[in-house]
Structure formats: structure tokens, C-alpha cells
Structure 1
Amino acid sequence: MSDAPLFAIAVAAELAGMHPQTLRQYDRIGLVSPGRTAGKSRRYSVRDVAQLREIARLSAEGVSLEGIRRILELENEALALRRRVRELETALADELLRRPGSRVFAAAEDGGVIPLRTGTRTQRRTEIMIWRPRPEPLDE
């Protein structure tokens, strides 16, 4: 979902089904913090509008504004943690690929991973070999 500030307050309010004054109040109390232009006008992103809709849904279900603030805070924290996990998984995968002999493995029938030494084959025909060629060294 895009975090780019796109919508003026009137457009964002219409998209969220709210009054512009409600958006100003939510900005003041920190529920949704839109971007600002050089002239200090609010600009809402697609993500902000989705968050405003979620606030409206939770409010309609009887959740207090403080409860909504806490829910949004936890959701944003979970999103940041998921992004960090993906980043670390990518870094780990890259590191494992750089280690000689550590990049060959097989998938077991039950979905488990079986590490193999370079040059060895699996013992069972039900396993699949997955490999990646080493990058060619650059000629200098």
C-alpha cells in the first residue's frame, strides 16, 4: 500500500466517508498523521485513507479512540516487524549462498530441508535437488 502523500483533506475525507473536521481531530490526537506540503497543508496517502476507514469501522463497533490508537499502534508495529523479518531472511539467504558448500540442499517428502555437501546426491528418489549456479567471477 502506498505511503506517498496524494490526497488533500477534502478528497481523503470523502474517500474515508468522514467529515474533514474529523480528519483534523484524528491528526491532532495522533490517530492518523498525514504528510504535509511546503505550505503545511495535509496530504493523505492511500495507506492513511485505509487507516481512516479502519478507524471508522472500529469506532462503529464501539471501540474508544484510545483503544483504536492502541490497535493501530500495534498493527503498525507488527507491519514494521514483518518488514524487518523479510529483510533479515533475505540477508540470511544471501549469506548462505555466499558460503561454499552450504548452498546445496534437498526437500524431503514432509517438506523438511536436508542439507547436502557439495557433490553429494540424495539417498531417496522422492527428494528434489535444488541448486543455484555460482556467479561467474568478474574478469579484471
Structure 2
Amino acid sequence: MDENTQVFVISIAAELAGMHPQTLRQYDRLGLVSPGRTAGKSRRYSMRDVQKLQEIARLGSEGVSLEGIRRILELEDHVNALSDRVRELESALADELLNRPGRRVFAAGSAGEVVPMRAGTRVRRSNQIVVWRPLEK
């Protein structure tokens, strides 16, 4: 069983988080914690959900509003997703470097996207001139 396996009914999850079950229902309605549902529409919480509920309780005790808590959790989820993506790309890069040592693997495009490169090719560069003058104070 991993931390994302949804096994806890609402009463057990509430007890583990130190909250009332009605509080968990409210957080579900607000979208702070979204448990899984059974075929009969019963909520099922994972250990990760319980940890998130504990984090919500901690932030609330520090005076953070529910909207602030929602935003913090959203940003933490975004950071975690980006960290996972970075690990994937690092692994892919390491594999590519092992398979083809000494060759260019990719470049960054003008909008920040990853552009795959074939061995021996170069990125086309813009030759426009930009003039910049600082504002005088």
C-alpha cells in the first residue's frame, strides 16, 4: 500500500487528522482535499489526504485563511509536479548521454521550450538588433 491508496472512510480519516468529519466534508466542498469515491459515492481518503488535512490544520492554527491555505496547497502541488518533471528530464538526459556521449541532445527554443537536436546541427539564431536606453532620472 502506498500513500495514495484510498482506504480510509471519513470517520477514520477525521480521527487520524484530529478533525471532525463535518470539517472534512467542508474541505471537500471547498476543494482543499478531494478524496476518492466508491461506487456508492462514499468518500475514501488516502494517507496523503490525511497528511494534507494535518497541514491544513497547522496552517489554520497559524492564522492562515482557508483561501490562503487553498493557494498554498495549490502552489505546493505545482512545485511537486515540476520537481517530478525535472527528475524525469534528468533521467532521460542521463540515459541519452550514456547512449550518445559527446553529442548535443537538445536546445532551448525562443519561448523556453525544449528543441531536440540532431548531431552536428545548430540552432538558428536571430540577427536582429535591439537598442536599449535606460530612463534618465
Q: TM-score, normalised by structure 2?
A: 0.72
Unaligned ranges ≥5, structure 1: 103-140
- Distance of 1:84 and 1:2 partners within structure 2: 20
SS of corresponding position for 1:47: helix
TM-superposed CA distance for 1:101, in Å, is: 5.4
Per the alignment, residue 6 of structure 2 pairs with 5
Q: Does 1:82 align with 2:102?
A: no
TM-score by length of 1: 0.70
* AA aligned opposite 2:44: R
What is the CA distance between 1:100 and its match in structure 2?
4.6
State the AA in 2 paired with 1:16.
Answer: A
**Corresponding pairs, count:** 102
Q: Give the CA deviation at 1:38.
A: 1.0
What is the one-letter code of the residue matched to 2:26? Q
- For residues 1-140 of structure 1, the aligned pairs below 5 Å read 2-100=3-101
SS of match in other structure, 1:80: helix
Q: What one-letter code is carried by the residue in structure 1 that aligns with 2:49?
A: D
Q: 3-state SS of the aligned residue for 1:63?
A: coil
d(CA) in 2 for partners of 1:4 and 1:79? 18
Q: RMSD value over aligned CA atoms?
A: 1.2
Percentage of matched positions with identical amino acids: 75
C-alpha separation between the residues in 2 aligned to 1:26 and 1:65?
9
- Between the aligned partners of 1:59 and 1:15, the Cα distance in structure 2 is 17
Gaps (5+ residues) in structure 2? 104-137
